[in-house]
Amino acid sequence: MTNKIFKQVRKWLSFLITVVLFVSLVFTVFITISTKASGGEPEVMGYQLKAVLSGSMEPDIQTGSIIAVKPGGDMTRFQEGDVITFLNENETLITHRVSDVIQSGEHVMYETKGDNNNAVDPATVLSDNVVAEYEGFTIPYLGYVVTFANSQAGSAMLLILPGILLIGYAAFTIWQALSQIELKKPAESKAQEAVEQK
């Protein structure tokens, strides 16, 4: 009875490991391909995934997390309290909260501030430099993976490593199956000998 339960548990564990490895392979392929296709940032159902590399928006947005932002639309629509992703003067993407909206003729500019910063950002943001709106979706720590996936070494490794793990696991499973067959052969031979002696 115990042996039967052990075999059942091992069978389910084997299935679970296979599923986890397969899902991780599909996920890493998706992240890598969508990153390359979108020119740097993966995209899911119209949302871009951005890696957060600083703690300026903590505690709501943790360093090393990824956030989903919605690009497009009228970039003059934002109000005080909205969180936007924009290009600063150094062409770096930043996600900060709008602290004030400044109307200057036909132009709309935003004063922004990181929730964890003591002061507002030194430069106002022209609405033309806003690329997306943050709508509250974040996954902690996954930003490190996305940043790594954007590098050449990361792209290669994330595509190759799950494949190697799957091949290794398949080889291990085949080796186990062959071992079981080899163990059964001597037992069957002994049983055959016993029958012949009778």
pLDDT tens digits, one per residue of 27-48: 666 666 665 555 555 666 778 8
More confident residue, 169 or 158: 169
pLDDT for 172 equals 77
So what's the pLDDT on residue 31? Answer: 63
What is the rounded CA–CA span in Å between residue 135 and residue 68? 7
**Same domain, yes or no, for 13 and 67?**
no
Residue 189 pLDDT: 57
Quick: pLDDT tens for 170-180: 777 787 777 77
Do 160 and 107 lie in a common domain? Answer: no
Q: Is residue 53 part of a domain?
A: yes
Domain of residue 52 covers 41-150
Token couple for 44: 């899911």
143 shares its domain with 49 = yes
Task: Determine the Cα–Cα distance for residues 125 and 109; give it in Å rounded to an integer.
Answer: 5
Is 54 annotated as catalytic? yes
What is the secondary structure of 4-18 as a DSSP string? HHHHHHHHHHHHHHH
pLDDT, position 34: 61
Cα-only R_g, the chain: 27
Based on the structure, what is the number of domains in the chain?
2
Dmax of the chain from CA atoms? 107
Distance between CA 52 and CA 116 in Å, rounded? 14
How many CA atoms lie within 13 Å of 148's alpha carbon, on the beta-carbon side? Answer: 13
Give a yes or no: residue 192 inside a domain.
no
CA dist 98 → 61, 127, 150, 173 (Å): 15, 11, 29, 56
93-104 and 83-87 strand pairing: antiparallel
Please pick, among 24, 54, 99, 127, the residue that the annotation labels catalytic.
Answer: 54
pLDDT band at 198 (very low <50, low <70, confident <90, very high): low
- Is residue 120 located within the same domain as residue 64? yes
- Give the C-alpha separation, 35 to 39, whole Å: 6
Instruction: Name the pTM for this structure.
Output: 0.58
Note whether 48 and 145 are same-domain residues.
Answer: yes
> Do residues 108 and 17 both lie within one domain?
no
Are 28 and 124 in a shared domain?
A: no
Same domain, yes or no, for 21 and 71?
A: no
